[in-house]
Amino acid sequence: PYLYFSGYSSVQSHTTVLCSFEQFKEFIDSQILWNPVWKAQYDQWASNFEWTDDIPKAFVQVKLNPNISDFDRDWVLNGIRGFLSTNDVFFSRTEIAESLESLNAVFILFVAIVGTIALVIVFFFLLIAMTQNITEAIWEYGVLRSMGLTLSEGRRVY
């Protein structure tokens, strides 16, 4: 279990202290249950839950053998789901890894397509700019030749 401690309200929900079940139970008994009003509110709130050793739990983490088959992993996960409410969310590390791998493949494909499109567009821009530059150079060379520039002088200029 874990507790949140802070004197600053802005960071109160971001500070975590890990403790044992015994320490957590001792904290609940000494800090919350000593006041009769708080104890009544706590008991009313806690009556909606089934807790082991009267200790609330927010997360359950189950570590399985890394070589477990998908069938056995799903069997354990479905067994746990039977004990919990339907509002609970389940995450499987292998399912998340598979989802991220497929997302990574789609992202790589997207980047490749966008890169190919950008390469084609840049090629045509470069082709247009080079063609325009050559056309202007031919025009300038023609003007110089019409002004009486000889062929050998034109080679020296360009």
In a domain, 103, yes or no: no
Full-model pTM: 0.46
Q: Are residues 50 and 117 in the same domain?
A: no
In a domain, 105, yes or no: no
Domain count, the chain: 2
Q: Are residues 23 and 68 in the same domain?
A: yes
Q: Are residues 82 and 115 in the same domain?
A: no
What is residue 30's DSSP assignment? I
Alpha helices in 28-92 (DSSP H): 36-46, 70-81
Mean pLDDT of 26-38: 79
Which pLDDT score is estimated for 121?
A: 98
90: nearest Cα among 68, 67, 74, 104: 74
Q: Residue 18 pairs with which residues in a beta bridge? A: 2
The yes-or-no verdict on residue 107 having pLDDT over 80 is yes
Q: Are residues 49 and 7 in the same domain?
A: yes
The per-residue pLDDT for range 56-106, each reduced to its tens digit, is 666 667 788 888 888 998 888 888 777 776 666 777 777 888 899 999 999
CA separation for the pair 97, 73 (Å, rounded) = 15
Which pLDDT score is estimated for 133?
A: 92
Q: Are residues 8 and 59 in the same domain?
A: yes
> Model confidence at 13, in pLDDT bands (50, 70, 90)?
low
* Residue 22: its H or E element: helix 21-27
The yes-or-no verdict on residue 15 having pLDDT over 60 is no
The yes-or-no verdict on residue 28 having pLDDT over 90 is no
CA-to-CA separations, 17 to 2, 5, 14, 23, in angstroms, rounded: 5, 7, 10, 11
Which pLDDT score is estimated for 11?
A: 54
Q: Are residues 87 and 25 in the same domain?
A: yes
Q: Are residues 87 and 118 in the same domain?
A: no
Which pLDDT score is estimated for 5?
A: 52
Q: Are residues 80 and 140 in the same domain?
A: no
Range of the domain at 150: 110-157
Q: Are residues 59 and 128 in the same domain?
A: no
In a domain, 146, yes or no: yes
Which pLDDT score is estimated for 51?
A: 74
Q: Are residues 129 and 69 in the same domain?
A: no
Q: Are residues 74 and 122 in the same domain?
A: no
136: nearest Cα among 124, 148, 147, 128: 128
